[in-house]
Structure 1
C-alpha cells in the first residue's frame, strides 16, 4: 500500500469541502493506504485524518512546533512528528509520501502544491501529483496557468505533470501509482 500526502485547508471552510476531505480519508483508509498530512486536527486536515483512521487506515501527521497550538495537533494520529520548522515539515511530508493529492485550500495549500508539482516537473521526484477538483474550485487557477502557457511562461510538459481529476476514487488510485 502507498503513503499518500494530502494537502488541504486547515481553516474554516464550507461543509461540502469538509465532506470532500472525509470522502478522501475514507477512500484512503478503505484501500489500506497511509495518510501523510500536515498534522492538524481541524477543518479539512482534521476531517481527512479522522476519516482515514475510521476506515482502518494509518495516519502520519507532521507539524512544526509553532503550529502545534495554532492548528491544534492531531494527537490521535498513529504517528505525530513535530518538526522545528515549516521547511522540515514539508521535507518530511515529501520524503514519506509516494504520491500527492491536493484538495481546496488557501495559500499554504497552494504553496505545497506548487512546490511538489515543480519538483516533479524538474525531475526531483517521479511521484504522482494530483489536483482533486470536483467543484471547480481551481478552475480560475487552471485558466490562468493556461494563459501562462500561451504566453510562454509555463511549458505544456509542466502542465501535463499536474493531473486534474474530479473523482475521489480516481485521485486515490492515481496518487497510489495506479
Structure 2
C-alpha cells in the first residue's frame, strides 16, 4: 500500500508541477509619434563681386548652400534680378569689354553641383529643373559675373538679387 500511495503521490506532484502552454496569436500595435521636423537651410547672404581697376572680375570662392534639415531638400527655383538700376544680360553673348563705360548691364553664371544657371537678360535665367541636397549636404556655389568698366570706384553696390526657392524634397 505504501508503494501504491508513493506512486500516486509522485504522479500527482508530476501532474501539478507542469505548465501547459497553448499556441495563440495576438496583435500588438506599433505607435509612431512624429515631432515637427527641423527645416534649416543656409544660403549665402551676398555674392560679392569685385571689378578691379584693370577691369577683371573677382568673386568669392567659399560660398555654399548647406542643408541642416532633418531630411533632403530641393532648390526648385532660382531668380536673378537686376537691382539699383542694373539690368541682367545674356551671359552667353554679353561682352562687357565692348560695352560703354559706366553702363549698368551685367551677366551672371551660377553653378550648384552639376547644374549651371546663366542669366538670359530681362531678369530671366535658364534654370529649368531642381537641385536636391541630402540631409547634412553642403553644396558649393561657384559663380561668375561679367561687368563693364565703371568710371568711379564704389564699394558694396548692390547690382542684383538672387533668390533661391528651397523646400522639402517630397
TM-score (norm 1): 0.22
Which one has a bigger Cα radius of gyration? 2
Q: Which has the higher helix share?
A: 1
TM-score (norm 2): 0.23
